[in-house]
Amino acid sequence: MIFPDPPKKGDQVGLIAPCSPVTPDEAAQSIAFLESREYRVVPGASVTAAPVYGYCAGCGDLRGQDIHRMFGDPEIRAIFCLRGGDSGNHVLDKLDYDLIRANPKVFMGYSDITNFHVAFNQRAHLITFHGPMVKTNMIQNFDPFTEASMEKALSLGATGTMDLDNPPGVPFKVLRPGKARGLCAGGNLSIINSLMGTPNELDTKGKILFFEEVDEDTAHVDRFLHQLKYAGKFADAAGILIGDFANQSNEHDPSYLVEDLMRDFFADYDKPVLYDIKSGHCTPISTIPLGAVCTMDTGSRILRFSLE
């Protein structure tokens, strides 16, 4: 796996909307924020593209061209996503993965950005970053924990190892004990499910599977989990990291929420499972280097990331 060099002050960075659109004001605020970090911002055409169908930041071809431009320009040192949303899957069949592999760069985002994390990890062998997005997180509330976690993940190439932390006072919860080691893979649960049966289906063999979700009823999460179970994704994995489940609900029985479901679902699982990793649709948010080696130890509650 390829770890990209992080951007430095004064470097050019790309800004793209590879999924859903933003307003002109949000785009301007996002550019101003990155400039305040002393980056020279190169906005993609998707940043100001007229919405298509109301939920797409321009057509798939345009967004694919954005990604090619950002990876192909040697002056651009990192690519930040404005937001997630919908329709990132419109772009996957339009990408030149050889180009991306030959020009490794920081690629940051989450939610619908999972489409790109999985494809870039598996088809370009690029380590990517499940972390904050500019419009969604940075211009609204770029808190000290979120910033420090992002910088720690971006520095992994220099330090060699990093321990993933939760915000103070929020411990990881152990659902199943044990130790495991493998490449970390995953992202948003519903997006992982949507990739099943496609050329970008998530490979979990020997890996530490991470997933998170937002705005889903317990019954829907139950369905997602069983789809992955029957597809062998949990059996193939070396261990499981369960991220944040924001705005969860259960219209049928409000007393039975996602944590209860996870405890029941993994009750007989013979590999380690940690719950409540604060990465996903939450504030603060920790940054996970997807594609890096993850060593998990539920006894010490340590999540350590390293490079092969």
Catalytic-residue membership of 147: no
Catalytic-residue membership of 46: no
Q: Decide: 8 and 29 in contact? Cβ < 8 Å.
A: no
> How remote is the C-alpha of 112 from its chain's centroid?
8
Q: What is the largest distance, in Å, between two alpha-carbon atoms of the chain?
A: 54
Handedness of CA 142, 208, 128, 221 (dihedral sign): negative
Sheet of strand 302-306: strand arrangement: 161-163, 302-306, 293-297, 179-188, 208-214, 239-246, 273-277, 173-176
Q: Decide: 285 and 142 in contact? Cβ < 8 Å.
A: no
Which residue among the candidates 30, 149, 281, 286 is catalytic per the annotation?
281
Which residue among the candidates 117, 190, 212, 286 is catalytic per the annotation?
212
Pairing of strands 208-214, 179-188: parallel
| Angular region, 162: left φ>0, alpha ψ -120 to 50, beta rest | beta
Q: For residue 188, which amino acid is it? A: N
> How remote is the C-alpha of 157 from its chain's centroid?
18
Q: Decide: 307 and 272 in contact? Cβ < 8 Å.
A: no
What is the rounded distance in angstroms from the CA atom of residue 298 to the CA atom of residue 174? 6
Which residue among the candidates 20, 30, 111, 279 is catalytic per the annotation?
111
Catalytic-residue membership of 111: yes
**Which are the catalytic amino acids?**
111, 212, 281
